[in-house]
Structure 1
């Protein structure tokens, strides 16, 4: 293609998709899109003046229309009569690999028939023919059911009875939207069931794509078993990810360490592995005396199988398609421009599936590859010209610089050691560990003892890798947490990077010319280049500082009642940019003896999966105070992940200890991290900043002594199993607003605190509060008439899980609040509740309303 039309058209196509995503949906038909394409074709054929501009506008319109047309067709064909759970029978065919993890089994089916079961709301048993992907989630009840689930395979015909429900949406601002995630895979429903009594599966042979994928699953499973035999358990999952793209068994702790150091791209099959595969195939074919042309054709034919075999992730699909086109171009002496190849492949993938643009892996893969193609030739001019050093540094620096905005946008963290980790480990893993592991895997198919010897070399190499990642990950001072930046900030970032590199190249050219005694015209025009570089660098540093501290000049505070289900987690952000976290939610697990088989490798945990990502996304670099109101699991369960991933300056608790493994681990972690532990009581008052204060009101020191005249203690802490009546109660004053936080305190402790406050007050009159955090999730054991009469709150926030089995909040408490004209906000109905505090008052917003 002449000039750079393909590159420019691809960018227009991508921009059109972006506009389609940001703009409201329009009714765009396939006829309109076809008409626009026809008009563009006619204009090109007629070669009219101004053709380029007209064509660009037409192409942009086609792109917008095509995305919206594609998106509008993504609707469910299952006609549900309500948004609640629906009982039905479903028949279909398994279309994904089966993931068995403890007592959970997950897979996707292509449903062919649904039969609605008779209920009180639906008296009919109507049957509907459908053709739609449905996500299935099975909870196993017996251990022998696990063995049955392991026999299921992709392509099996299956029938099952259970509940059909709509996937969950994001319940917190900036939270993960599971419904949108599944919709981008054309999945609109989740089918859930318990036990396998209602499940019938049958293996059958079909001449279709699923059968090929089934064989591929079996082969990958066979190789995975070989890797289990070759490598110890601590390394097998890592090698499966590295060699065959199978990440199910990857240790979550290992993945977290790689993620912290910006090394997760190593664990995804991508361009490096595809290039090595092509090089090995071509070398082997040359040894067999195949001609160059024949070898290229064979390599092209084998690449789709390699892409399929390694999991078909966006990175490997992109690399595979690029390699196929490049090999064919080499054979025909066509299209040697790598950037045009990339744009051609990216454009084809986006036409095939426009939702690819929203995929994180797709964005990182193409952005980094684009940056390497464009940026490495530039940056290499500024580095030492020794070939190995130059290539290693230029690739690493460009990849880090290009991926940085997307990394902090999606993962909200960046390690200053990332560049060093990539320089050391990427070549080592790519050119040492991967080849040795591949040779061992191939040899295991013919000679197990020899394969074991070769594998031992990889085992030693992996020990070095894990040791180095562990050491570098332990240097917490190099980890930076970033709030998700805006699209405008990202655009300015890439603009400044391009300007700075361009100016440096010009400055370097001038310097080289002067050293060689060459005086040409452009030197005279470049006298101010140093000043330009300095100005750009200052602006760039300012941009980075603003991205790291976007709320530095804020003059308002926020109190965020985060939705963590049945539990409490409240983030306080003061006007002077201080952060206080009150409780951290928790995942309650009820497990009987002998139920070890139910344990999942990477179970859902509120702190790790919900709370910590939200704190990072909001730019919480560290917590000035972490407050645990008491030590029940639904309040402190998520704090373990917080301590492990976010620096904490001070930890305030209620001065007691509830003896169990989770609590002891939490306090041990705090002590190991040398975080000061402060016992809260009525004597503690903390000025947070000029506009914010904390006044602790409860527990009372006299009460602790009277309740436990002979207390049981551990390392100086009173042992207390019943934590509710020892909940920390404190007042937050921010500007002119007052918030009362109550933990899970009950009636008896409410009465004790009221008596104490009335005894301390000369006028026996309280100052009304603005917001009351309702105690114990709205339980009838709290929030008495006397309590509301004393505090006279205007607003009440209730942190509670939807459809909880405790009946929270109770009608009794809700009626009492209504009688006192208190406006009630609930996380189960409204999701996260955010209250913005200014000098003029409080403004609220809710995620779901």
Structure 2
């Protein structure tokens, strides 16, 4: 600590914050921080023995108190016993830029007064409560009205107040926690603009709003310049790269960059700051300004650049480092980049402790510190004499190694092409596209023709680079999927990485040292450098560290390898079905249906479409599967082709390898269904029809027995069927001594058909051949009479058909199967009224334990030692 006090302080401060995040004890508050601060001062004066450890402990304690106090104060002024109030009067001020996207307007506003007729006036009138607003527009003309709203405007409206949604699946995105880190605890929603009043600040209220509105307007003008200079398929990308406006980046384009680990190109970060400063200083020097003057001028303009580019944690970090560096250069004290980075980091954490939990902050600082510390060491290890090539390789290798664990923690994917893509493409974007695009954008204000020429050159370069990115991101073989690692795994990764790099340093090439001739040839000496004890110990430690590092990666890639339990996970995908099964003992992955987003758009509603509309497969299902380490789906079962069952599977097929696709042998005449099957064929997925009588032996302990649809003789091809519910795939799964019945959306008529078929073959087992279809894949066998008898027995778990609709789950159906547990998949407050009250009463009357995704969130059932253990996300 005495030699590197800034480093020691920053490390201890970060540890203190981390402890407060994990432990969260009530006595971790500002009083604790103040007491630790006073003891620290006393220790500095008295200097007792062990002062270094004592000071470190006190800094950790003070940091924990600061974070704990900050977190404890983050509470709502509006304390209600309900999650939603339908009539609330709000008066306040818009505090963020207003986003208009299709029929949705969103912004944040700070309350000046809140009135809730049912509950009265909150504490202090709710003054100071910041809320997230979402206004649904009712007419196209209202878009123009909303686009005139600005930061600082007063707003008054009546709307619905509700708590943000919490995660409804294990490991899913928690919007409530996300907004809480922004000190937001409530959402306000309203319909249309006619029932609200938005007015600009009064003459005496402008204050800082004038500057903020000016920055927003200038940013909008820059965005307009980009729109004018670049084609539509590039303008969103360039806005993200140049001024931090990422809302308009095409989703497919962003996905390609994400698959290659190139999204940092789009994000505003240190590279943008470096280019901005280089261009600014070059320009100021052309005007003949002295060194001191242009350094101070650049320092003064940096806050404006941070504000114009969006002030994300990564740009704030880079901007603060630049400002500290410029001031140190002005004072001729620019010596240590590590200290500059740590000062900026601690300053940001003191200002907002929640930065510690921000992925942008974490990646930005870790990669920056890694580059500062690691690149000089990596340069020594690379036997390359060309300095620029060696530096480029070192920067790419170090950045990849440092960012890897956080990348798989947050995004659960890593491309084997990432290194090559970063090494080849980042220089092109950073050396030409970014500075050239910035120059064209600014030049457009004074010389439109010249800006157009330069923009054309940049656009042509982008076309080539985008093509390379598209082709490089296509092969599925280079994409790896990683389950979310634990914090302990991440710490072990960095620890072993540091150990390996440290142990490699003595073997680094030393250009200035030439070994003497006897040592080179082993002549005239008995001391061989690779046989002495110290070197041998180092070899042993290096080998152990390398093996530990490789073993850690092997474990992290599939931590569930050899797990002694199976899982059936009824995912909450809203009003739809999706069930993830991981079998025992083989660990095979089965996905039954994929949910889907049902659209009720009418002709003429095109203006309501958003730039990146919500799609359950891409936004929820695929990220969830990746978080759980699903690297391949062995069996994808589509029970039937209604949108709330197949919609999310398009994204699944595009992002996760699927070995076999099982369906009911029909085709619904919809473009989306045709695209789904076409994608499966293009990906090399085997398409297989199933019907009653087929049996698939998944592994030694798991078998699927298909009970429906009933066979209709030899088929001459896939038949077209509009009404899919009556043709739903019904199958029974036997896994490790447990029995599960999955029913799709069949109705009571199909239930009776199936039961009648059962009663027809069960007595005497003489008609079992009636269930025997034409033998084909995937049936590892065709059920005969004995198997029919074995299959049609009581089950442990029933997946209730058709989301609990009154048209399914008849009395005789329950009597026949006698389930112990039932699971209903339905959306919260769905328009169909699922699950039906009579169905619930029927299940209860049979003594069946019922779990519902609309009430309980995800329902996870684990099979261990022949028993079923249940947990739900929302109700323990």
The TM-score bracket by the shorter chain reads over 0.9
Q: Which residue of 2 aligns with 1:654?
A: 664
How far residue 248 of structure 1 moved from its aligned partner, in angstroms, is 1.4
How far residue 518 of structure 1 moved from its aligned partner, in angstroms, is 8.5
Q: Which residue of 1 aligns with 2:330?
A: 331
Q: Which residue of 2 aligns with 1:70?
A: 70
* Partners of 2:46 and 2:682 in 1: CA distance: 76
* Partners of 1:123 and 1:210 in 2: CA distance: 31
Q: Does 1:600 align with 2:610?
A: yes
Could you tell me which of 160, 163, 166 is aligned with 1:163?
160
Provide Cα deviations, 1:430-480, integer angstroms capped at 9, x if missing partner: 011112111211221112111111111101110011101100011111000
Q: Which residue of 2 aligns with 1:723?
A: 724
Are 2:28 and 2:65, in contact at CA under 8 Å, matched by a contact in 1? yes
Q: Does 1:734 align with 2:735?
A: yes
How far residue 199 of structure 1 moved from its aligned partner, in angstroms, is 1.2
Q: Which residue of 1 aligns with 2:316?
A: 317
The structure-2 alpha-carbon separation of the partners of 1:537 and 1:328, relative to structure 1 and needing over 3 Å to count, comes to same
Of 106-115 and 511-520, more deviation after overlay is shown by 511-520
Q: For residues 539-688 of structure 1, what are the structure 2 equivalents within 5 Å?
A: 539-575=548-584, 576-688=586-698
Q: Which residue of 1 aligns with 2:816?
A: 790
Q: For residues 350-389 of structure 1, what are the structure 2 equivalents within 5 Å?
A: 350-383=349-382, 384-389=384-389
Q: Which residue of 1 aligns with 2:778?
A: none
Could you tell me which of 839, 843, 846 is aligned with 1:820?
846
TM-score by length of 2: 0.93
The structure-2 alpha-carbon separation of the partners of 1:124 and 1:338, relative to structure 1 and needing over 3 Å to count, comes to closer
Q: Which residue of 2 aligns with 1:396?
A: 396
* Partners of 1:762 and 1:13 in 2: CA distance: 75
Q: Which residue of 2 aligns with 1:474?
A: 474
Q: Which residue of 1 aligns with 2:768?
A: none
Q: Which residue of 2 aligns with 1:710?
A: none
How far residue 546 of structure 1 moved from its aligned partner, in angstroms, is 0.7
* Partners of 2:124 and 2:512 in 1: CA distance: 79
Question: SS at the partner of 1:624?
Answer: strand
Q: Which residue of 2 aligns with 1:174?
A: 171
* Partners of 1:518 and 1:193 in 2: CA distance: 85
Moved over 4 A (4+): 121-127, 509-523
Q: Which residue of 2 aligns with 1:830?
A: 856
Question: SS at the partner of 2:862?
Answer: strand
* Partners of 2:643 and 2:764 in 1: CA distance: 40
* Partners of 1:55 and 1:661 in 2: CA distance: 67
Provide Cα deviations, 1:533-584, integer angstroms capped at 9, x if missing partner: 3332222211111111111111210000000111100000112221110001
Q: Which residue of 1 aligns with 2:833?
A: 807
Q: Tell me how many residue pairs correspond in the alignment.
A: 837
* Partners of 1:125 and 1:306 in 2: CA distance: 39
* Partners of 1:515 and 1:434 in 2: CA distance: 46
Are 1:105 and 1:139, in contact at CA under 8 Å, matched by a contact in 2? yes
The structure-2 alpha-carbon separation of the partners of 1:516 and 1:452, relative to structure 1 and needing over 3 Å to count, comes to farther
Q: Which residue of 2 aligns with 1:246?
A: 245
Provide Cα deviations, 1:409-447, integer angstroms capped at 9, x if missing partner: 000000000011101111100011112111211221112
Q: Which residue of 2 aligns with 1:40?
A: 40
* Partners of 1:222 and 1:518 in 2: CA distance: 71
Are 1:321 and 1:345, in contact at CA under 8 Å, matched by a contact in 2? yes
Are 1:116 and 1:126, in contact at CA under 8 Å, matched by a contact in 2? no
How far residue 81 of structure 1 moved from its aligned partner, in angstroms, is 5.0
Q: Which residue of 2 aligns with 1:756?
A: 757
The structure-2 alpha-carbon separation of the partners of 1:516 and 1:475, relative to structure 1 and needing over 3 Å to count, comes to farther
Structure 1 residue runs without a partner (length 5+): 706-712
* Partners of 1:127 and 1:144 in 2: CA distance: 37
Are 2:169 and 2:858, in contact at CA under 8 Å, matched by a contact in 1? yes
Provide Cα deviations, 1:189-208, integer angstroms capped at 9, x if missing partner: 00011111211101225443
Q: Does 1:457 align with 2:454?
A: no
Q: Which residue of 2 aligns with 1:841?
A: 867
How far residue 24 of structure 1 moved from its aligned partner, in angstroms, is 3.5
Provide Cα deviations, 1:298-335, integer angstroms capped at 9, x if missing partner: 11111111111111111110011001111111121225
How far residue 760 of structure 1 moved from its aligned partner, in angstroms, is 2.2
Are 2:77 and 2:123, in contact at CA under 8 Å, matched by a contact in 1? no
Structure 2 residue runs without a partner (length 5+): 520-526, 766-788
Question: SS at the partner of 1:249?
Answer: coil
Could you tell me which of 151, 156, 160 is aligned with 1:154?
151
The structure-2 alpha-carbon separation of the partners of 1:483 and 1:248, relative to structure 1 and needing over 3 Å to count, comes to same
* Partners of 2:747 and 2:60 in 1: CA distance: 62
* Partners of 1:839 and 1:702 in 2: CA distance: 40
* Partners of 1:64 and 1:793 in 2: CA distance: 51
The structure-2 alpha-carbon separation of the partners of 1:568 and 1:472, relative to structure 1 and needing over 3 Å to count, comes to same
* Partners of 1:305 and 1:208 in 2: CA distance: 17
Provide Cα deviations, 1:595-620, integer angstroms capped at 9, x if missing partner: 11011110111111111000000000
Of 184-193 and 47-56, more deviation after overlay is shown by 47-56
Q: Which residue of 2 aligns with 1:709?
A: none
Q: Which residue of 2 aligns with 1:708?
A: none
How far residue 181 of structure 1 moved from its aligned partner, in angstroms, is 0.3
Provide Cα deviations, 1:727-757, integer angstroms capped at 9, x if missing partner: 0000111010000000000011000011112
* Partners of 1:126 and 1:508 in 2: CA distance: 65
The structure-2 alpha-carbon separation of the partners of 1:514 and 1:502, relative to structure 1 and needing over 3 Å to count, comes to farther
Q: Which residue of 2 aligns with 1:51?
A: 51
Provide Cα deviations, 1:618-645, integer angstroms capped at 9, x if missing partner: 0000100111100111111111111111
Q: Which residue of 2 aligns with 1:183?
A: 180
Q: Which residue of 2 aligns with 1:210?
A: 209
Of 287-296 and 69-78, more deviation after overlay is shown by 287-296
* Partners of 1:57 and 1:792 in 2: CA distance: 61
Are 2:692 and 2:707, in contact at CA under 8 Å, matched by a contact in 1? yes
How far residue 126 of structure 1 moved from its aligned partner, in angstroms, is 11
Are 1:161 and 1:193, in contact at CA under 8 Å, matched by a contact in 2? yes
Q: Does 1:196 align with 2:193?
A: yes
The structure-2 alpha-carbon separation of the partners of 1:509 and 1:124, relative to structure 1 and needing over 3 Å to count, comes to closer
Q: Does 1:140 align with 2:137?
A: yes
Are 1:91 and 1:158, in contact at CA under 8 Å, matched by a contact in 2? yes
Question: SS at the partner of 1:563?
Answer: coil
Of 720-729 and 30-39, more deviation after overlay is shown by 30-39
* Partners of 1:518 and 1:394 in 2: CA distance: 33
How far residue 216 of structure 1 moved from its aligned partner, in angstroms, is 0.7
How far residue 5 of structure 1 moved from its aligned partner, in angstroms, is 1.4
* Partners of 1:703 and 1:135 in 2: CA distance: 58
Are 1:583 and 1:636, in contact at CA under 8 Å, matched by a contact in 2? yes
* Partners of 2:210 and 2:243 in 1: CA distance: 19
Are 1:586 and 1:636, in contact at CA under 8 Å, matched by a contact in 2? yes
* Partners of 2:293 and 2:124 in 1: CA distance: 55
How far residue 497 of structure 1 moved from its aligned partner, in angstroms, is 1.3
* Partners of 1:693 and 1:636 in 2: CA distance: 23
Are 2:77 and 2:122, in contact at CA under 8 Å, matched by a contact in 1? no
Of 582-591 and 833-842, more deviation after overlay is shown by 833-842
Are 2:77 and 2:126, in contact at CA under 8 Å, matched by a contact in 1? no
How far residue 512 of structure 1 moved from its aligned partner, in angstroms, is 9.0
How far residue 513 of structure 1 moved from its aligned partner, in angstroms, is 6.0
How far residue 283 of structure 1 moved from its aligned partner, in angstroms, is 1.7
The structure-2 alpha-carbon separation of the partners of 1:16 and 1:28, relative to structure 1 and needing over 3 Å to count, comes to closer
* Partners of 1:188 and 1:494 in 2: CA distance: 35
* Partners of 2:398 and 2:208 in 1: CA distance: 39
Provide Cα deviations, 1:652-679, integer angstroms capped at 9, x if missing partner: 1111111112212111111222211111
